[in-house]
Amino acid sequence: MINNLTRTGSLLMVRMMFSIALTVLTLFAGNVYPFEPIQLTVLTAFFVGIPSFFLSFESDFSKVEGRFLRTLFERAFPVGFSIAVGAILIVTIGGSLGITHPELAMMTVLFSAWNYVLMQRKIFWPIKRYRLWIFTITQLSFLVALIVGTDFLNLAWPSPIHFTLLIPFLIAAPLAQYLLTRGALFIFKKL
């Protein structure tokens, strides 16, 4: 049970970390905050809340290793920081290219979702059938929510030319998470 709490707690901690980091970076960069509350609600529901609820019922009898809070921070910091920096860069670069705010919001939501998918794959490894079903259903439901609720969520699908701005960020996300994880492990070992 504690192992499941560590895993699901890491997902929630990501939201807290990227919200704090985004707030600070937004203040220094002078940008508009990249997300609206309803957009964060959709991200949290499909990538934190629903998976955490169903995965908490999964049995896990493996030995608990490490410290709970330290493990949460080691897992959440790289993803949260990656989302924060990526979102600020997307908004800054996209804004200078004249991309509309709803298009930029969609790109930051998709970038954040991709980072959550990478994290879920890492912390819930190995992916068993039960986990695969949960992740597949929640991720498909997320895409349906974006398609059906585009106007309600104040989002707009980027034009193909604008979408090309997002592609390098999606490709760089796994490397950024890896490097930030290595850095976080190094820092936490010193503490």
pLDDT of residue 11: 83
pLDDT of residue 148: 96
pLDDT of residue 186: 83
Q: Over 90: is that where the pLDDT of 3 sits?
A: no
Question: How deeply is 182 buried, as exposed, middle or buried, from its count of CB atoms within 10 A (0-12, 13-18, 19+)?
Answer: exposed
Encode pLDDT of 72-119 as tens digits: 888 888 899 999 999 999 999 999 999 999 999 999 999 999 999 998
User: Interior CA angle at 18 toward 17 and 23, to 5°?
Assistant: 105
Q: Which of the four pLDDT bands, split at 50, 70 and 90, describes residue 66?
A: low
pLDDT of residue 39: 95
Q: Rounded to an integer, what distance in angstroms lies between the CA atom of residue 188 and that of residue 186?
A: 6
Encode pLDDT of 118-139 as tens digits: 988 887 777 788 889 999 999 9
pLDDT of residue 155: 95
Q: Over 90: is that where the pLDDT of 10 sits?
A: no
Please count the structural domains in the chain: 1
More confident residue, 145 or 6: 145
Range of the domain at 15: 2-190
Q: What's the pTM? A: 0.89
Tokens found for residue 84: 């924060």
Q: Rounded to an integer, what distance in angstroms lies between the CA atom of residue 188 and that of residue 64?
A: 18
What are the residues whose beta carbons fall under 8 Å from the beta carbon of 78, sequence distance 6 or more?
176, 177, 178, 179, 180, 181, 183, 184
